[in-house]
Amino acid sequence: MIEFIHADAMRALENAAIDSGKTSVSALMERAGTCVLEAVLAKWPDLASGGHAVLLCGPGNNGGDGFVVARLLRQAGWTVTTFFYGTVEKLPEDARLNHARWEACAGGETVMLDFPQVRRKQAKAFQALAYGDPNTSLVIDALFGIGLTRPLEGLRPVLTICQDHYERARKPAMPRHVSIDIPSGLAEDGPLGTGDGGVFQAHLTVTFHSAKTAHQHGLGYCGDLVVKDIGL
C-alpha cells in the first residue's frame, strides 16, 4: 500500500537533512536527476540507445532537477532541448548553478519561454521540436513541484499541446511523457486546472522519498508512479 505524505512534511524532512549537514540542495538535485534517468530506462529499456529529449524547466528547484536530467542525458549521448519558463536571475541558487552547468555542457542550449505568459509562437516552436521531430522519445515536465498554489494559465498554450499529443500516445512513435516529482498543475488538494491544458499528463512520474498527497488526489495524471530514494 502506498503511503502519501503532505508537502509540508516533505519540506521538513529535506530541511532537517540539509541543516544537519547530511546532504545539500545541490546533492539532492543531482541524486534526483540520476533517479529520473534510472526510472526512465527501467520502464523503457529501448531508450538506452538514446534519442531526442525535450524538457520543460520551471522557475524553481523542480526546474533545477530538470537541468540536471538534461545534462545527464546529453552526457549519455542524447540530443536534448530545454525550454525554460522563468527568469535565470531569479532561479534559486542551486537551480541557477545547474542551469549554468547545463549551458556549459557540450550541446547544452536553452530556449526561453516568456514568463509569466508564453507566446503562441513559442508554443508552436515547442510543438515542432517535441512532437514534430520523429527522433523525439521523451518530453519531460520539470516545471513545478510540490509548492504550486496557482493554476498554470500562462503555460496553457504549451500544456494544451502536451495534452493533445498525450491522447495520441497509443501510437508507438509518440514521445513518452515524464514528470519530475509531480505532474505540473497538481497541488496538495488536487488539480489546479482541468486536464485540457491545466495539468501535464504523464506516462511516468518519478517522485522522491515518498509519494505525496498531491499524487493521491491526481493519480490519473501520474501514469506509473515510481518513488526513489534520494538519501534523506
- Does position 171 have pLDDT exceeding 70, yes or no? no
Task: Spell out the residues 6+ positions from residue 103 whose beta carbon is closer than 8 angstroms to its own.
Answer: 109, 110
Grid cell 482541468 is found at 194
Secondary-structure percent of the chain, ordered helix, strand, coil, rounded to 5: 45, 20, 35
Q: How confident is the model at residue 148 (pLDDT cuts 50, 70, 90)?
A: confident
pTM assigned to the model: 0.95
What's residue 96's pLDDT?
A: 97
Q: Which of 123, 162, 125 is nearest to 141 (CA)?
A: 162
Quote the Cα angle for 123-93-229, to 5°: 85
- Does position 184 have pLDDT exceeding 60, yes or no? yes
- pLDDT, tens digit (0-9, with 9 covering 90-100), for 43-82: 999 999 999 999 999 999 999 999 999 999 999 999 999 9
Residues in the chain: 232
Over residues 119-148, mean pLDDT: 94
